Amino acid sequence: MSLTPPNPNLAIEINDLTVAYHEKPVLWDVDLHVPAGVLMAIVGPNGAGKSTLIKAALGLVKAAAGDVLIFGRPYPEQRRRVAYVPQRGSVDWDFPTTVIDVVTMGRYGALGWLKRPGAREHAEAMAALEQLGMQDFADRQISQLSGGQQQRVFLARALSQQADVYFMDEPLQGVDATTEHAIMQLLRSLRSQGKTVVVVHHDLETVEEYFDWVTMLNVRRIASGPVSEVFTRANLRIAYGGRSALGAEALERDEIRDAKPAAPIVP
């Protein structure tokens, strides 16, 4: 537990989070303080614990130690303020259901037990689909969607949760350019509404273009802060070392600077 009092101005405050599978640490004593209204990427090599960090924050995997506060209060008390986008591959897309039905699931938490989704939930789900340009697919069986469309449906579902903090697990993984564009537009619009968005991200080349905040992870937290300050060659080297081809490649690239020439954040 942290000795400092919780800071309710922080959208996400993670203290001393340790997660282990069979006594092997996946996350080692991670501290993370994310202010409200940022668009943050979590980057790190494979096996760095990026997805696990999100899952532990949401109570989906059991933490060996540590606590997670959302706006100063424990996650279970703040569920309604948090939306989660799991990896697209974590569900069965042959499940007998439609696009609108999946998006409506985002309202289930607010509905609570026993109540059935009705016209209001349907309208909220449609509004979310429209924001991702997917309204024409509402009655489509989900198995008929392309990967990018599936991802947009997942995003629409998170949107329908009307949360303040969004955790997204690899939303840009393997999607087409149209989808990537639509998703990034949505994330920026969320940020401009003051929402906090945390994205597990795999593409180091787009970190600076897409995000204003970044956390670099490799079992332990390497660095966390504004992209312009912490997304440096030195930190990348620590995070990726020689382990990842992607990381090594990125280290060779000139775009990634040694120190910060403060770049304006693209809104």
Partner 1 sequence: MTSMQLEIMLIAAVSAVACALPGVFLVLRRMALMSDAISHVVLLGIIVAFFFTGDLSSPWLLVGATATGVLTVFLVEMVTATRLVKEDAAIGLVFPALFSIAVILVSRYAGNVHIDTDAVLMGELAFAPFDRVVVGGYDIGSRSLVKMVIILALNASLLLVFYKELKIATFDPLLAVSLGFPVAALHYGLMTLVSVTAVGAFDAVGSVLVVGLMVGPAATAYLLTDRLSRMIMWSAGIGVVAAVGGYWLAYLMDASIAGCITTMLGIIFGAAHIGAPDRGIIAMARRRARQRVEFAQRMLVIHLFNHEDSPEAATENRVDHLGEHLRWRAGHIERIVDSARRRKLIQEQNGSLTLTDEGRTVAKESLQFS
Which residues are near partner 1 by CB under 8 A? 55, 58-60, 76, 79, 82, 84, 86, 90-92, 95-98, 102, 105, 108-109, 111, 113-117, 141, 143, 157
Q: Nearer Cβ to partner 1, position 7 or 95?
A: 95
Q: How far apart are CA 170 and CA 192, in angstroms?
A: 21
- The type of residue at 229 is E
Helix (H, G, I), strand (E, B) or coil at 191: helix
CA distances from 61 to 18, 58, 85 (A): 11, 8, 15
Q: How far is the CB of 164 from partner 1 (least distance, A)?
A: 14
Distance in Å, CB of 149 to partner 1, minimum: 16
Q: How far apart are CA 247 and CA 203, in angstroms?
A: 10
Q: Among 167, 204, 195, 162, which Cα is nearest to 46's?
A: 204
Q: Shortest approach of partner 1 to residue 100 CB, angstroms?
A: 11
- Choice between 60 and 234, CB closer to partner 1: 60
Q: Which helix (H) or strand (E) holds 17?
A: strand 10-21
Measured from the CB atom, is 18 or 87 closer to partner 1?
Answer: 87
Which residues lie across from 65 on neighbouring strands? 18
Torsion sign, CA atoms 75, 230, 50, 67: negative
Q: State the nearest-atom distance from the C-beta of 95 to partner 1, in Å.
A: 5
The token duo for 27 is: 């996350």
CB of 238 to partner 1, least distance (A): 30
The least CB distance from residue 102 to partner 1, in Å, is 7
Nearer to partner 1, 163 or 236 (CB): 163
User: Which residue has tokens 């970190």?
Assistant: 207
Nearer to partner 1, 83 or 250 (CB): 83
SS3 80: helix
Nearer to partner 1, 168 or 204 (CB): 168
β-bridge partners, 141: 98
